[in-house]
Amino acid sequence: MKTDRNVSIKVVRRFEASAERVFDAWLDPEIARKWLFRTEGGEMVTARIDARVGGSFDFTERRDGQDVAHVGEYLVIERPTRLVFTFGVPLYSPEFDRVTVEIVRQGRGCELTLTNDMTPEIFAEWGEKTQEGWTTLLASLARELGEEG
């Protein structure tokens, strides 16, 4: 994927939880399986995380009888401020996006900025749904951390 021609989607969310709690929710499979890549009505059948640079993740959700895998590889893990990973849904596309999660402390809480870089072709087909998806998932993360969605 050429970075000079990528299109970025950005989602920003404020959390009352600490930067550490928010960061850890991305890498703890028992917490992540409850919100990450989860949809209403879907059943999470796989939530595997190898939380190290070069490690991978696989979240597979059964949706209407079909298994939809969300997979990727961790490129950067800097607790609690930065997480970078590749991200793909092989059922829908052979391409992988690059997702950067940056967390900045704000008082007792934090602000999370998620940037999803993708090719213009993927953006044309999936950009709006990707923006909506990350917004919904971050609201689910907030609920999982005991905050209002």
DSSP string, the chain: --GGG-EEEEEEEEESS-HHHHHHHHH-HHHHTTTTT--TT-EEEEEEE--STT-EEEEEEEETTEEEEEEEEEEEEETTTEEEEEEB-TTT-S--EEEEEEEEEETTEEEEEEEEEE-HHHHHHHHHHHHHHHHHHHHHHHHHTTS--
Q: Domain residues of the chain, as ranges? A: 3-144
* Alpha carbon separation from 131 to 11, 118, 125, 127, 143 (Å, rounded): 7, 12, 12, 6, 19
Single pTM value for the model: 0.94
> What is the model's pLDDT at position 1?
45
Q: 138 is written with which tokens? A: 């971050």
Q: What is the mean pLDDT of each run of 10 residues along the chain (149 residues)?
A: 75 98 98 95 96 98 96 98 97 95 97 97 92 96 90
CA distance 14 to 6: 26
The CATH-assigned architecture of domain 3-144 is: 2-Layer Sandwich (3.30)
CA distance 71 to 108: 32
